[in-house]
Amino acid sequence: MNIDLSGKIALVTGGSGNLGSVMAKTLAKCGADIVINYYKNKQRALELQKLIEELGQLCMIIQADVTRLKDVMGMKKNIEKKLGNPDIIVNNAVIQYKWADILQQKPEDFHSQFESCVMHNVYMIKAFVPAMKEKKYGRVIGINTECAIQNDISQSAYVAGKRGMDGLLRVLAKEIGAYNITVNQVAPGWTVTEADRKSGIVSKPEYENKVPLKRRGTDQEIANLVAFLASDLASFITGAFIPVCGGNVMPAI
């Protein structure tokens, strides 16, 4: 059984980042043409574009601030003109900030998380879902986090944004399911990325000791689930929130 995305166009926001780049490469290896959205790291996006084109897939890079509706709509027009309408959108980008207790957390950090978790998804939905409805096919995949279930100290701004995102995407799953469009969320744990490998610090015993599988997951393991949900193998899965965290959090029924 193979994941075959041949003939599909996949857009990954934050596609030049640690997780986004592996998602983009994995979707390309499954046969999809790729659009890499980046905000600042153009050089990394260009390097990734070259790698994907060497795999034999079309690849377009495009700069946009996904917290701005004007930018997202401009991105839509450019993609439509050059490649067509994406069949798969992976809403992965998020604003990074320094975590602190609620009393110390800056109000602007709560705003940034709302903008990059909730409004980012709203804008992507408004831009790309109408074309999916027309062709009666599509995949919307949001990258959430295990933190949305943990609710640990200092996670407040991040959790507030991601839980808002969760509610939005669950409603969307019900609203557009009749059009053969699935909406799902992938919730990584504390994941090993290329940045960790380069630093030489991959193991985090204080975290791993709490994980039933006794290790951190990898960026490739996150991308594997994204590719599965993007494929027709997951055609009857929608509205799901799926942790990829070795059992560190377990959604209850």
158 is catalytic: yes
Phi and psi torsions of 17, nearest 5°: -80, 180
What are the tokens at 6?
């041949």
Among 73, 203, 164, residue whose Cα is nearest residue 127 = 73
Q: Helical H runs in the chain?
A: 18-29, 42-54, 69-82, 107-113, 120-135, 147-150, 156-176, 194-199, 205-208, 219-230
Residue 14 and residue 116: Cα distance in Å, rounded?
11
- Say how far apart CA 193 and CA 130 lie, in whole Å: 34
Give me 126's structure tokens: 């408004």
Between the CA of residue 158 and those of 28, 104, 121, 152, what are the distances in Å? 30, 14, 15, 10
Of 38, 39, 123, 158, the active-site residue reads: 158
Say if residue 235 is exposed, middle or buried (CB neighbours under 10 Å; 0-12, 13-18, 19+): exposed
Q: Are strands 181-188 and 9-12 parallel, antiparallel or unpaired?
A: unpaired
Of the chain, the end-to-end C-alpha distance in Å amounts to 29
Is-contact 6 56, C-beta < 8 A?
no
Active-site residues, by number, are 158
